[in-house]
Structure 1
Amino acid sequence: MIIEAGIADAYGAGFEFEKETIIKAQNNLTEYKVHPRYKSIYKTYTDDTQMAIAISEYILEEKKWSKLEIANKFVEVFKRDPRKGYSSRFYDILSTIKNGEELLKTLTLASNRNGAAMRSYPIGVYKNELEILEKSKLQASITHNTKEGILSSQVIALTAHYFLYNKGPKSELTQYLRNVLNFPFDFKKASTVKMEAIPTVNTVISLVLEHNSLAQCLKEAVYLGGDTDTVASLAVSLLSINYDSQKDLPNWMYDKLEDDTFGKSYLIELDKKLISLML
């Protein structure tokens, strides 16, 4: 789940908001691409996966959930391994503050972007739907305390839960989400996905429904353009835990992904620990 997200994140980051002609010419799943404007992000995951790591670690620590403690975890995970991919403003905030208390005091919360959704899929390991709704809402409210931000976080967490616990066929996923959340999602793809929360999750769920192959899902997520790393990491992560998906990402994607302290091996170990909570 997280290793697949990291791979798709690293691959998608090379195409983020690139020209359609470049994407069509180079999106062939043969190598990680150096982005001309973000050359430091090469063969590495971005803020999308790092924030999911923070949520995963917090789950594994089994602390009582609170805004302050989650905010502390966000700061901790960034400080030990600063990396690009965050918005310039959020990156500057994380670089200058010392702890979660300062983060909560500094942030402007009225954002309808997709930052809360990109990190919420690990919450799907919990067994109880009400707990998932509460926790995905709480973590979203730290940075994206809007209806769109919260709903997008809940959609992704519930989708992960649906697949992890094999609650039904993939064809019934959308009805499940509409029933639980009581919101009229259209789950249609956007041609160029920007950073808005609801269009992002609509596109992600559409990709998950249309594909069984992780490789083909990743290619189409990037072909759509725009915020390619977020859409790719979410769609591939969720599809990877669907029981009938084809785990066919090319081997080179695993082999060439970064593997330092918090790289490939760390992501694989996090996955194992999260799944163990379900047993």
Structure 2
Amino acid sequence: MLVELAIGDAYGAGFEYAPTEFLLANNTARGYVQHPTHLGVRPGAYTDDTQMTIAVAELLVFGEPWTAQRLAENFVRAFHRDPREGYASGFHRLLGEVSDGAELLRRIRPDSDKSGAAMRSGPIGLLPELAEVLRHAEVQARVTHDTPAGVASAQAAALAVHYCHFDLGPVAEIGAWITRHVPGDWSVPWRGKVGSKGAMSVRAALTALAANTGLTELLRACVAFTGDVDTVATIALAAASRSAQYAHDLPSELVHGLEDGDYGRNYLAQLDKQLLP
């Protein structure tokens, strides 16, 4: 799961808010592309979506207390050991300034309804009990996105993975099922450009999930929305990678082209094995 969502993030990063003509010419899924203006993110490198997901996954694997303090500590640790681009500028600066989770919690203003809490929720969906998925997603969301919309989008993203992992029904009906458990119109198809709000990214991801049957076509569909497409692809591939109804057909160019430093492809694969024994 982590490898696939990182591929979605890294591939989508080449197209995030890029001009439509650039997207139409390059959204082939045959390899990573250099973003026309975000030159600090090289092709095949993942962004904050994956880095923060790693922090969540590590806390699940290590069995540490699921508290705002521990989550904040993991977010700070993941950033400082492997600083990278992709974060919102203010949050990037704050992570660079704080030394631990306690300081992050003291200084942050967690009043956002953007997509930061949703993009990192995927691993939570592997928990076996629906109530625990909702609780864990809420706790982690409130660290940075303590708003009704921020929490709901994080819960919906986690439930997308839960639905697919436990094969709870046809993927085409995933939005309707989530709507029964999380406030929001998750079954209404998304149309057009995806903005920065968490609900936008999740609804776009659910729309693409319901309409496709293979990871490659799903990835291209996520990017085709335009806008914040790396987050859409991260959320969608996290869920689809756990579905037996999906063809796991990502091109080798994307798999082997994903960054493989200390916390790259091999680290993600090992963490996946611990998440999915």
> How high is the TM-score relative to the length of structure 2?
0.96
CA deviations 1:225-248 (Å, max 9, x no partner) are: 101111111112211111110111
- In structure 1, distance between residues paired with 2:172 and 2:215: 17
Q: Give the drift of 1:31.
A: 2.2
Residue 51 of structure 1 pairs with residue 55 of structure 2: no
Aligned equivalent of 1:22: 22
Q: Distance in 2 between matches of 1:140 and 1:116?
A: 5
- Aligned residue identity for 1:275: L
Q: Which amino acid aligns with 2:48?
A: D
Distance 1:117 1:55 in 2: 12
Deviation at 1:171, TM superposition (A): 3.4
Q: After superposition, where does 1:78-117 map in structure 2 within 5 Å? A: 78-117=79-118
CA deviations on 1:100-140 (whole Å, 9 max, x unpaired) are 11111111111110110000010011111111111100000
Letter in 1 for 2:191: A
- Structure 2 counterparts to residues 68-147 of structure 1, below 5 A: 68-147=69-148
Match of 2:32 in 1: 32
Matched residue of 2:58: which SS? helix
SS in 1 for 2:125: helix
Structure-1 residue corresponding to 2:41? 41
User: Deviations for 1:174-224, whole angstroms, at most 9, x for unmatched residues?
Assistant: 232122225443432131001111121111111101011111111111111
Q: What residue number does 2:2 align with?
A: 2
SS in 1 for 2:77: helix
Whether the aligned pair in 1 keeps the contact of 2:137 and 2:158 (CA below 8 Å) is: yes
State the percentage of identical aligned residues: 35
* One-letter amino acid matched to 1:112: D
Per-residue deviation, 1:37: 2.5
Q: Is the 8 A contact 1:187 1:201 kept in 2?
A: no
Give distance in 2, aligned partners of 1:119 and 1:143.
12
1:183-198 paired onto structure 2 within 5 Å? 183-198=184-199
Give distance in 1, aligned partners of 2:188 and 2:240.
15
1:152 aligned residue: 153
Match of 1:246 in 2: 247
Alignment check: 8 A CA contact 1:8 1:229 kept:
yes
Are the equivalent residues in 1 in contact too, given 2:172–2:209 (CA < 8 A)? no
Aligned residue for 2:65, secondary structure, equals coil
Contact between 1:190 and 1:199, CA under 8 Å: does it hold in 2? no
Q: Which moved more, 1:92-101 or 1:176-185?
A: 176-185
Q: Distance in 2 between matches of 1:137 and 1:64?
A: 15
Of 186-195 and 199-208, deviating more is 186-195
Asked whether the equivalents of residues 18 and 36 of structure 2 are also in contact (C-alpha less than 8 Å), the reply is no
| Equivalent in the alignment of 1:11 | 11
Q: 1:38 to 1:118 in 2, by over 3 A?
A: same
Q: Give the aligned residue type for 1:61.
A: F
Residue 180 of structure 1 aligns to a residue in which SS?
A: coil
| Structure 2 Cα separation of the partners of residues 243 and 271 of structure 1 | 17
Q: Judge conservation of contact 2:172–2:211 (CA < 8 Å) in 1.
A: no
Q: Which amino acid aligns with 1:220?
A: A
- 2:95 is aligned with what amino acid? L
Distance in 2 between the 1:40 and 1:184 partners? Answer: 36
Aligned AA for 2:33?
Answer: K
Shift of 1:4: 0.6
1:260 corresponds to which residue? 261
Q: How many residues align?
A: 276
Calculate the TM-score normalised by the size of structure 1: 0.96
